[in-house]
Copies of this chain bind each other. A is one copy, B any other.
Amino acid sequence: MGRASSVAVDRTLAALADPHRRRVVDLLAQRPRAAGELARELAISPPAMSRHLKTLRISGLVEESHPEFDARVRIYALRPEPMVHLLRWLEESERLWSAQLLAFKAHIETAAQTGPDA
């Protein structure tokens, strides 16, 4: 384990690497929005937004739905699961890094006990 979920995290990171897509995630974290609405807010063309949304959908970061009153518009909503995996990876890295610091500190203290400049 740890390596098994790596691929999914890689996909999530690749999806979030584009600034436009990250901005979309920011907006969808507030509330779900229609594709056209997102395109207007980011000032990019509808086709460009459509592609970004496709990328996000494939990565699992967003999901698509239709409002009941108009089947032409597509509502996109955030799907936090991939972000949770990413969060876990970050926390694990932080944990390991902290362990490094502790080990270093212990090393220094041991050296001090053995006697400085031994």
In which size bucket is the chain A interface? 20 to 34
* Contact among B13, B31, B78, B97 with A22 in the assembled complex (CB-CB below 8 Å): B13
Given contacts A80-B93, A84-B94, 4 further A-B contacts (CB under 8 A): A10-B22, A14-B17, A26-B93, A78-B93
How many copies of this chain does one complex carry? 2
Main secondary structure of the interface of A (DSSP, over half): helix
Q: Are B97 and A90 in contact (CB under 8 A)?
A: no
Q: Are A96 and B29 in contact (CB under 8 A)?
A: yes
Residues of the B chain whose Cβ atoms lie less than 8 Å from the Cβ of A31: 100
List residues of chain A with CB under 8 Å of any chain B CB.
Answer: 6, 9-10, 13-14, 16-17, 19, 22, 25-26, 29-32, 78, 80, 83-84, 86-87, 90-94, 96-97, 100
